Amino acid sequence: MIACFDIGGSAIKGAIAYSPEDIRPLPKVPTPLHDFEAFAAAIEKIAADGSVDPASLISISIAGVVDSDTGKITCANIPCIHGRMLVADLSAKLQRPVLVANDADCFALSEAVVGAGRGHRIVFGVILGTGVGGGIVINGKIHEGAGGFAGEWGHGPVSATLAGNPPVAIPRYACGCGQIGCVDAVGAARGMERLHAHLHGVNLPSTEIIAAWNAGDPAAERTIECYIDIVSGPLAMTINVVGASIVPVGGGLANSVPLIQRLDEAVRARILRKTDKPLVIPAELKIEPGLIGAGVLGLMEVTK
C-alpha cells in the first residue's frame, strides 16, 4: 500500500491505495499556501495517520505542472511550492521517494485504468470546468510531453471568431495564461457565462444557463449552440492529432450529460475517423478522480 494525495489551493486530500480499485480516503486538511515546512508536514501527518510505512513512496496529484526537464513546478495557487524542485525538495524533507503529476493527467490515468477508458490504448481525458484542460494516457502511461504540457488543448489562440447558425461574431477574449483567443476563455464554465452575456446581455451562472437550455429556453439554446460550435472544433483537431479512441470528460460542465452528448455528436462530425460509437463521454469516476489517479500512478511505480 502507498499514500496518495490530491492537492489544490484549498485542501490536501489524502488516501491509502491498496490497489487501483481499492483507494481509501483519509480526512482532508487545508493546504498551507505560504509555508513549505507546513506543507510538507501536512503530507507527512496524513500518511502517518494512515499507518503507511514511513519509507514508502508518496504519490501526488496537483493543480500544477512539473517540467520534466528542469524538475520545477508551476503552481501559482500554492505560492510556497511555485518554482520549486518539488519532487527533490519533498523527497529530501520527507526522506522517502515522491511522485508528482498534474491533476488533469491523473484524471486521465484514473479513467484509463479503472474508468471509461479501460481497454483503450490511447485515452484523452478532458476537463471542462473552472478551466479547460486535459491529459493523455498511452498504453497505460501518462504522456507528459515537453515541459509537462501535453494534453493542454485549452490554451493557444485558436478560438473561433464566428460561431452558430446563423454565425455571430465572438470576441477574442483574454485568457489567464496570457494569450488572447484561447478555448479556455470561452469553453470553461466562466467562459460559457461570458458567451451568454455577449449574446444576450444577461449574466447567468453556467448551471442556470444549462438548466434553461434543458427547459427549452431559446436564448440558452443559442448560447449552447455557439458554445458547442466553438469547443468542438479544437477538440476534434486535438483528437485527430492524439489518435484517442475514447475521450472521458470531467469537471463541472460534464455533470450535464446532454451537453456532453451534444459535444460528442459535433466532435464526431468533425474528426477524420468516422464512428457511430460515442467518443466524447462523461467520465465514470465522479468522486476524487485525481486522488484515484495519484494512487494508480504510485502503485504502478512500486510494482515495476
Q: How confident is the model at residue 60 (pLDDT cuts 50, 70, 90)?
A: very high
pLDDT in tens, 181-234: 999 999 999 999 999 999 999 999 999 999 999 999 999 999 999 999 999 999
Determine the pLDDT at residue 212.
Answer: 98
Residues contacting residue 294 through CB under 8 Å, at least 6 positions apart = 4, 5, 6, 15, 17, 59, 60, 61, 99, 101, 106
List domains and CATH numbers for the chain.
2-102+288-302 (3.30.420.40), 116-282 (3.30.420.40)
Alpha-carbon distance 235 to 183, whole Å?
A: 9
Q: Whole-number mean pLDDT of the chain? A: 95
Determine the pLDDT at residue 54.
Answer: 87
Alpha-carbon distance 236 to 250, whole Å?
A: 17
How large a percentage of the chain has pLDDT more than 90?
90
- Give one word for 60, left, alpha or beta, with left for phi > 0 and alpha for psi -120 to 50: beta
Q: Where are the beta strands (DSSP E) in the chain?
A: 2-7, 11-19, 22-25, 29-30, 58-62, 65-66, 73-74, 98-102, 122-128, 132-138, 141-143, 162-163, 168-169, 247-250, 280-282
Determine the pLDDT at residue 64.
Answer: 87
pTM of this structure: 0.94
How large a percentage of the chain has pLDDT more than 70?
100
pLDDT in tens, 254-304: 999 999 999 999 999 999 999 999 999 999 998 899 999 999 999 999 887
Q: What is the mean pLDDT of residues 74-97?
A: 94
